[in-house]
Chains A and B, each alone.
Chain A
Amino acid sequence: MQVTLFLQLLLPGLTTGCVYALVAVGFVICANVSGVVNLAQGEFVMIGGMVASWLAAASWPLPFAIAIAMLVGAALGGAQEKFTLAPVRRAPPFIQVTTTVGVAIVVRGFALVLFGTDPLSLPGFSGDGVFFVGGAVLPVQSLWVWGTTAALLAGTFGVLRHTDIGRAVRACSINLQAALLMGVDAERLRVIVFAVSGAVAALAGAVVTPIVLSTWDAGISYGIKGFVGAIIGGFRSPLLAVAGGIGIGIVEAFAAGYISSGWKDFIVYGVLLAYLLIRGGVFRAGRAAFAAALASPLR
């Protein structure tokens, strides 16, 4: 019985954790190529779920609905980079990040106007059946979420390691300045990375919607929980970001199951806050930034 409850919490936690992990990886990779934390990342998950559900409800075949959702995510991501971030590249960092908030608001607002306030749902990709693991009941769709996440992560890491674009992204994350000097076409690279991470986020949103439904204001929750994953990885390591994202999903599920579903968010965000406060007490920041300021010419 204990084991059953444990699994009944762990496995759904893993499912939502997969989405957070994908968002976290998007955060990390976008931050590394653009120097900006893209606070609209979670909204792309939401828009993916909404677009796919909406099209499916309009009796589009599921694969098309999902493909269109990914295209919308890619278009939004690429457009965000090209039309809102590129123009403020030379502005102070807080302006650049605030611009991403503006994009998040537009995407939210767009979803609200187009889809309304009611949650949308999507049928399971291979039916709405369930399966059993050690007594725990799980929707079959969970397999789709895990499989898609595994495939996307494998693809991401494969691309990062073995392709020119991947090498360019890694070069940027090690030393953005040097990568630019070595002839990495940063503008093109950034648009590609933002588009891909928009598409990945949208796919994540579509694949998880049969389980959790999709509402216009869900993006903030995906964003903040994915951010936790990214921050655990120090915004450097995509692998740690994945671990962080999945960890948050599991903590969330355990908090809901073992403590109280009403206090679930309190506990998850409390863990985040506590984690940040502890790090703030331990770390001494500053020197690296000073060194960077001295090394760069007049800003």
Chain B
Amino acid sequence: MALAQHKTALAAVLGALAVVAYPLLFRDDYHLGVGITAGALAISTVGVVLLLGLAHQLAIGQAAFSIIGGYTTGILCVNYQWDPFVAMIVGAVLTMSLAYAIATPLLKLRGFVLVMATLALHLMLIVVAYQLPITGGPIGITAVPKFAIFGVIHFDGETSYFYAVWVIAAIAIAIGINIDHSAIGRALRAIAASEAAAASVAIDINRYKVQMFVIGAGMASVSGSLIVHYLRAIDPTVFGFGFSLNLVTGTIVGGLTSIWGGALGAVVIIGLRELLRGLSLPLWEAMIMGALTIVILIALPGGIAGAIGDLFDRIFGGVSGGRLSVTAPGTIALVPFSAEEGRGDANILTVSGAARSFGNLRAVNAVSFDVAARSITALIGPNGAGKTTMFNLIGGYQPLDAGSIRFENREIGGLLPKDIAILGVGRTFQNMQLFENMTVLENVMCGRHRELKTGIVPICLRLPQARAEERETRRQAVAALGFVGLRNADSVPPSALSFGHQRMVEIARSLALRPRLLLMDEPASGLNDTETEQLAELILRVAAHGITVLLVEHDMRLVMGLADHVVVLDHGEKMAEGPSERVRADPRVIEAYLGRPHDDAA
């Protein structure tokens, strides 16, 4: 357990040892050059892990960004005698600005549009490199100086440049790991597991994808500059389509699921190339890398790094949580909002004339109702009455055809789910949507997203403010888990818990959002009697803390026992509304919904 926790540190130590030892073992310029190229590629492949492994954006146009970095370095250093380090930074800034300008509109489109756009950009840049006088046409730029920093530190020898490149690679790896272990890493994993649930905790999908795209582009650019300083030249063929393909295949073989996989990927690319060169079969490289990629994707999705990690866990005990204990629910450690924010007896939610059709089916037809602040309101009705559709309209998961939905006197009809969550509307799902690729605690930590303020730069560099915020997030998530009565379940995946406990985790996650209105879609479905009782007790405690609860529920005992106010839907229309006793006595409701009077309906 202790060892497993220090896996990252161990990998860092081993990696550093290998890098330090390499020039001592291989002193000739040829092998040092191989090592330099591997280091420069590792910077790019770390970017590919962020983009492909974390943000799930197929990054097969990375060479586009290396071209910009490489030519910026070439032009500034040769034509204008700039300092190489400054030129490299300028190239990266230029690249990242361009990446930002492209990614912001394109990531709104679904599918693989960004892939094609970066490919198009790449092919356009190759034309530019061939055609412009300043890039030197087909011959390119030669006599690029060796790398130096501010004209003070020079890297004239191959050994010193080898170390310089690998120090920069180590920085890229550290940035990658910091992102992976931060709220951004969690957000991206959340998006991968369930976009709907990610939006329900106010995670802004596009923002993080754009960030990863821009950072990955910056890394590719730096990598391009460093390669040009090694080659001492650049021409349009250096960063071709094959370069991009190599980065992707190498990273997949190295391992998409960890930053170390990226670094390993660079070593794999270079290692295979040298091996094939030794066997006089250089043309076979693409075919072998492609085949390896397919095999890895099918059989070993974590790649080499993933396999090593699994092996390590198996030998040294791996992830183990404390013994799960479900405690008596604690008193609140989580005070969502002060009384003033709840705003007395006003209506927190006003639905008026809401309508939504699917083809000819009017799922929700001119429905109006109010939800009083701090109340527990239930939405009931027979199957197909439009309850879940109504919920999805309130949460922004489906667009309104007509009508309006106001939350705290603010129109939310037409907003996206994440924006509605940001305003303070939490939700749970009928078909529970936990993030299976994270631990229970991380699931709940995702709920805190709305309140995170640390920017991308402090996160990349893991500055004190980033660490402090991470600690606070953890503390609040533990408190939320305590509130629903789950302790010591932190480090297990949700699937290790019983169904009832998983539902509690989902509720804890939505509470971590500190919602003022909590939408619960059939929270009792699939629960046994004991669990349902615990759930009822929990909902009462949630309401007691000033959180308004709106639930869709089939379990009439639960509804009648809990709800202050009941809205009955039938065939998409509101049939009745009122305090639960009155609704229960309403003959129309009894006829349409309950069928006949029931003894056990109490």
Question: Could you list which residues of chain A lie within 8 angstroms of chain B, going by C-beta atoms?
Answer: 37, 39, 84, 87-88, 91-95, 97-99, 101-110, 112-113, 116, 217, 220, 224, 227-228, 231, 235, 262-266, 269-270, 272-273, 276-277, 279-281, 283-287, 289-291, 293-294, 297-299
Q: Which residue in chain A gives the minimum CB-CB distance to B118?
A: A273
Q: Knowing A224-B116, A224-B119, A290-B195 are in contact, say whether A113-B429 is a contact too (CB < 8 A).
A: no
Extra contacts besides A95-B301, A280-B113 (7): CB < 8 Å: A88-B297, A98-B248, A102-B252, A103-B294, A265-B124, A285-B109, A298-B433
The smallest beta-carbon distance between A238 and chain B, in angstroms, is 17
Partner of B52, one of A91, A98, A110, A116: A98
Pairs of residues from A and B, 7 with the lowest C-beta to C-beta distance, nearest first: A109-B287, A105-B290, A280-B105, A109-B286, A106-B290, A102-B293, A269-B120
Task: Determine whether the beta carbon of A291 is less than 8 Å from that of B52.
Answer: no
Contacts of A103 in B (CB 8 A): 290, 294
Cα A92 to Cα B287 in complex, Å, equals 24
Q: Is the CB of B290 within 8 A of A104?
A: yes
1/0 contact trace for B429-447 toward A, CB 8 Å? Answer: 1011100000000000000
Which listed residue (A98, A105, A264) contacts B287, Cβ 8 A? Answer: A105
In the complex, 22 of the A-B residue pairs with CB atoms within 8 angstroms, ordered by the A residue number, are A37-B111, A88-B298, A93-B56, A98-B58, A98-B248, A98-B297, A106-B287, A109-B288, A220-B119, A220-B241, A224-B123, A263-B127, A263-B131, A272-B116, A272-B120, A273-B102, A273-B121, A276-B106, A285-B110, A290-B398, A293-B433, A299-B193
Report how far A104 CA is from B58 CA in the complex, Å. Answer: 14
Once bound together, how far apart are the Cα atoms of A264 and B107, in whole Å? Answer: 27
Contact A92 B192 (CB under 8 A): yes
B285 to A, closest residue via Cβ: A109
Q: A93 contacts which chain B residues (CB < 8 A)?
A: 56
B310-361 CB contacts (< 8 Å) to partner A = none
- B208 within 8 Å of A (CB atoms): no
Contact A224 B195 (CB under 8 A): no
Q: Assess whether A298 is in contact with B431, with CB atoms less than 8 Å apart.
A: yes
Q: Interface code B281-309, partner A: CB below 8 Å = 1, 0 otherwise?
A: 00111111111011001100100000000
Q: Give Cα distance in the complex from A263 to B124, angstroms.
A: 9
Q: List residues of B (47-97) whose CB comes within 8 Å of A's CBs.
A: 52, 56-58, 60
- Measured between alpha carbons, how far is A265 from B127 in the docked complex, in Å? 7
CB–CB A293/B196 < 8 A: yes
Complex Cα distance A281/B417, Å? 20
* B residues near A262, Cβ cutoff 8 Å: 127, 130-131
Inter-chain contact A276/B288, CB cutoff 8 Å: no
Contact among B105, B301, B429, B432 for A281, CB-based, below 8 A: B105
| Chain A hits for B284, CB < 8 A | 109, 113
B399 part of interface (Cβ distance < 8 Å): yes
The answer to whether B117 has its CB under 8 Å from any CB of chain A is yes
- Among residues of B, the one whose C-beta sits closest to the C-beta of A86 is B298
> Closest approach, in angstroms, between the C-beta of B67 and any C-beta of chain A?
13
- Residues of B within 8 A of A (CB-CB), count: 63
Alpha-carbon distance between A52 and B193 when the two chains are bound, in angstroms: 45
Q: How far is the CA of A84 from the CA of B299 in the complex (A)?
A: 11
Chain B residue numbers with a CB within 8 Å of A231 are 113, 116
Please tell me which one of the listed residues A102, A106, A293 contacts residue B194 in the complex, with CB atoms under 8 A apart. A293
Flag if A94 contacts B294 (CB, 8 Å): no
Complexed CA–CA distance, A199 and B478 (Å): 58
Q: Within 8 Å CB of A281, what residues of B?
A: 105
B249 and A102: CB pair below 8 A? Answer: yes
B397 CB within 8 Å of chain A: yes
Known: A94-B58, A263-B131, A277-B105. A113 touches B121 (CB 8 A): no
Measured between beta carbons, the chain A residues less than 8 angstroms from B107 are 280
Contacts of A224 on B, CB cut-off 8 Å? 116, 119-120, 123
Chain A residue nearest to B130 (CB atoms) is A262
Question: What 1/0 mask marks residues of chain B from 178 to 201 whose CB sits below 8 Å from any chain A CB?
Answer: 000000000000001111100100
If A280-B106, A298-B431 touch, does A99 touch B297 (CB 8 Å cutoff)?
Answer: yes
Q: A112-B283, A265-B124, A298-B432 are in contact. Are A105 and B196 (CB under 8 A)?
A: no
For chain B, residues 120 to 179, give those with C-beta under 8 angstroms from any C-beta of chain A. 120-121, 123-124, 126-128, 130-131
Q: Does B488 contact A (CB under 8 A)?
A: no
In the docked arrangement, what's the CA distance between A68 and B487, Å? 66
Tell me, in angstroms, the Cα distance from A37 to B114 when the chains sit together.
13
Min CB distance B203 to A, Å, is: 13
Q: How far is the CA of A210 from the CA of B245 in the complex (A)?
A: 29
**A116: B residues at CB distance < 8 A:** 283
- Provide the bound-state CA to CA distance between A142 and B164, in Å: 56
* Assembled-state Cα–Cα distance A231/B109 (Å): 11
A87–B296 alpha-carbon span in the complex (Å): 12
For A287, the closest partner residue in chain B by CB is: B399
Residues of A within 8 A of B60 (CB): 101
Chain A residues lying within 8 Å of B199, measured Cβ to Cβ, are 290
With A92-B192, A273-B124, A277-B106 as known contacts, state yes or no: A84 contacts B294, CB within 8 Å.
yes
Say which residue of B123, B127, B283, B417 sits within 8 Å of A113 (CB atoms).
B283
- B392 CB–A CB distance under 8 Å: yes
The answer on a CB contact under 8 Å between A265 and B123 is yes
Interface string of B193-231 (1 = CB under 8 A from A): 111100100000000000000000000000000000000
CA distance A269 to B120 in the complex (A): 5
Q: Is B26 in the interface zone, CB < 8 Å from A?
A: no
For B291, list chain A residues within 8 Å (CB).
102, 106
The answer to whether B58 touches A276 (Cβ under 8 A) is no
CB neighbours (8 Å) of A297 from chain B are 431
Q: Is the CB of A279 within 8 A of B109?
A: yes
Q: In the complex, A194 Cα to B241 Cα: how many Å?
A: 25
Q: Complex: how many Å from CA A294 to CA B106?
A: 24
Measured CB to CB, the closest approach of chain A to B285, in angstroms, equals 7
The answer to whether B124 and A98 touch across the interface, beta carbons within 8 angstroms, is: no
Taking the closest CB of chain B, its distance from the CB of A4, in whole angstroms, is 28
Query: Once bound together, how far apart are the Cα atoms of A241 and B109, in whole Å?
Result: 18
In the complex, which residues 415-472 of chain B have their Cβ closer than 8 Å to any Cβ of chain A? 416-417, 429, 431-433
- In the complex, which residues of chain A have a beta carbon less than 8 angstroms from the beta carbon of B277? none
**B195 surroundings in chain A (CB, below 8 A):** 289-290, 293
Q: Is the CB of B286 within 8 A of A108?
A: yes
Q: By the criterion CB–CB under 8 Å, are B249 and A105 in contact?
A: yes
Query: Which of A286, A289, A298, A299 has the largest count of B CB atoms less than 10 A from its CB?
Result: A286
- In the assembled complex, the Cα of A294 lies from the Cα of B153 at a distance in Å of 58
Closest to A269 in B: B120
Check B557 for interface membership: any CB of A closer than 8 A: no
Interface centre among B196, B199, B248, B417 (most CB of A within 10 A): B196
User: Chain B residues with Cβ under 8 A from A280's Cβ?
Assistant: 105-109, 113
| Cβ–Cβ < 8 Å partners of B298 in chain A | 84, 87-88, 99
Inter-subunit contact A273/B120 (CB<8 Å): yes
Query: Nearest Cβ distance between residue A12 and chain B, in whole angstroms?
Result: 20
B392 touches A106 (CB 8 A): no
Residue with the highest number of chain B CB atoms closer than 10 Å, among A92, A93, A101, A294: A294
- Complex Cα distance A289/B206, Å? 14
B-side contacts of A265, CB under 8 Å:
123-124, 126-127
Set of chain A residues within 8 Å of B121, measured between Cβ atoms = 269, 273
Cβ B416 vs Cβ A94 within 8 A: no
Picked from B112, B126, B293, B431, the residue with its CB within 8 Å of the CB of A37 is B112
Give the distance in Å from the alpha carbon of A263 to the alpha carbon of B193 in the complex: 43
B294 near A294 (CB under 8 angstroms)? no
In the bound complex, CA of A95 to CA of B252 (Å): 10
Q: Is the CB of B117 within 8 A of A105?
A: no
Across the two chains, which residue of chain A brings its CB closest to B392? A294
Q: Take A109-B287, A112-B286 as given contacts and tell me if A97 and B58 are in contact as well, using a CB distance cutoff of 8 Å.
A: yes
